[in-house]
Chain A
């Protein structure tokens, strides 16, 4: 598995700088601010979780990072270069797997290579990526034949085949049942540890954020500001029930104003 991971993995993750970024949507009723002076630096290979209430603007930040939209003000940099457009070194995984229903799982995974004309030279990566997420026997299946967890794994394989330096995860486990979710949290952490990319996870699940990441950034209600930062020094592999994680969960809930429910 380690050898396989290497063929898919990057040498190093990307360094991300978010400098004083604000963003608002232009609605007919006037501008709606969603991000308010966000400043954040993510080190190469770091796993950072953005934790905040639903609809606070977390996903918008990810879209800006992916280069799908320009920020209203401020600057986003990858390894000191300004992010202006989408690039395959930064891959986004959505809450919905968004697999193309008309393509087989294998062809879905092959999409990025095909789009860049690398199918011939790098085609071997497809099977590696499928194997990495445990779908090597489902290459010829169509997406509607997969369960929710399998579909999300396929979406992950489709992201990893591009050898991303930054993996942007927008509540990727949000629609899964709780058992699949727990299993996939561990799998994702394993993948990240083996591959070495930088990971940015958006979630509103405190337990998930604390279990998976090196650092939890707690965001406020819309427009999102950075409220606090929790550094999670617990070593991997982690134990869900450990006292340290429980303490960090408590701290995060406290910051989200949910202390009374602890």
Chain B
């Protein structure tokens, strides 16, 4: 431990030193620029009248303008005070360019839709319409999200557990490998979505069919990568444990599985991606709930803004799930060189 602590400590020490030496760094120029950009976006949204296109005005326009101006004001605090509000400045500083870009994006979006109507409604809507949708339809979106998560997690956890067990068994036992490997090679590459019509026919409910397909989509990558992880374990790891009197069960549990874990997490990540796409397609095709269903439902009514709103929720939640998986991986594999964080 003592060998790494100076390495871990050095960047922050250097930062502190540079901050002490040059008083210029006490404020944050980029933050000032970001604050100005959000002010422009806010004033533009608030003061520039919306272009009327034959139906009622966009709701929440002024509220959004005010919100942007508030953001501008909040950004002013770390920009001016800098190190006096250190934890905030330090977190925001790396995001500086993105904060500016986002303000610019919102401004352009606002101009092209509400202000100049270059992009035609109802296919395109200004950002304030998303607020409108969430305010009006939050209950249905929330329900859809809850249903999606329930379905996704049921299938994913089932598939991940099955994939892990299958992978360990075929990596460990030649007899099991003999029987399972051909099945894996034959069935694995078939996209789960291709089995959708058949599964809806075979299963008692479309929900259970979807759980099965999501599990199948997760199972394949988790199995293959767990298997390759177990098969690739350094043979000496087994010999060391065997000379010390380890049983077969001990070798699997304490040697093969931990050694294969980095690979297992790659499989879990790939399986998660696959499960998202099966989830959405299944919801669009047969399961009458969830975000995928909401998308087709909104499109059927021509409610394009609702579609965007649901997509935004989907992006946020799915990326959050992947972040969660990565956090779990970093915790579990904290022993790995490079991912070590404490």
CB within 8 Å of B: which residues of A?
Answer: 63, 66-68, 86-88, 90-92, 94, 96, 98, 100-103, 111-112, 114-116, 138, 140-142, 144-147, 158, 162
- With a cutoff of 8 Å between Cβ atoms, the chain B residues found around residue A63 in the complex are 239
Contact of B1 with A141 in the complex, beta carbons under 8 Å = yes
CB distance from A5 to the nearest CB of B (A): 20
- With a cutoff of 8 Å between Cβ atoms, the chain B residues found around residue A114 in the complex are 254
- With a cutoff of 8 Å between Cβ atoms, the chain B residues found around residue A111 in the complex are 240-241, 244, 246, 254
- With a cutoff of 8 Å between Cβ atoms, the chain B residues found around residue A92 in the complex are 239-240, 243
Contact of B246 with A103 in the complex, beta carbons under 8 Å = no
Whole-angstrom CA separation of A106 from B246 in the bound complex: 18
Interface size on B, residues (CB 8 A): 26
Q: A86-B242, A100-B237 are in contact. List 18 more A-B contacts (CB 8 A).
A: A66-B243, A67-B243, A88-B243, A88-B244, A91-B244, A94-B236, A94-B239, A100-B258, A100-B259, A103-B335, A111-B240, A111-B246, A111-B254, A115-B254, A116-B245, A142-B335, A144-B335, A162-B244
* A98: nearest chain-B partner, CB-CB: B236
- With a cutoff of 8 Å between Cβ atoms, the chain B residues found around residue A103 in the complex are 258, 335
Contact of B243 with A100 in the complex, beta carbons under 8 Å = no
Contact of B337 with A112 in the complex, beta carbons under 8 Å = no
Contact of A96 with B244 in the complex, beta carbons under 8 Å = no
CB distance from A164 to the nearest CB of B (A): 9
Contacts A68-B239, A115-B250, A138-B1 known; A100 to B255 CB distance under 8 Å? Answer: yes
Binary interface encoding of chain B residues 258-279 relative to chain A, with 1 for a CB under 8 A from any of its CBs, else 0: 1101000000000000000000
Whole-angstrom CA separation of A146 from B3 in the bound complex: 8
* A112: nearest chain-B partner, CB-CB: B244
**B4 contacts the other chain (Cβ, under 8 Å)?**
yes
Whole-angstrom CA separation of A92 from B336 in the bound complex: 26
Contact of B237 with A115 in the complex, beta carbons under 8 Å = no
Whole-angstrom CA separation of A67 from B255 in the bound complex: 19
Which of A68, A102, A141, A147 sits near B242, CB closer than 8 Å? A68
- With a cutoff of 8 Å between Cβ atoms, the chain B residues found around residue A102 in the complex are 258-259, 261, 333, 335
- With a cutoff of 8 Å between Cβ atoms, the chain A residues found around residue B242 in the complex are 68, 86
CB distance from B243 to the nearest CB of A (A): 4
Contact of B240 with A94 in the complex, beta carbons under 8 Å = yes
**Counting chain B CB atoms within 10 Å of each CB, which of A94, A102, A111, A141 scores highest?**
A102
- With a cutoff of 8 Å between Cβ atoms, the chain B residues found around residue A144 in the complex are 335, 337
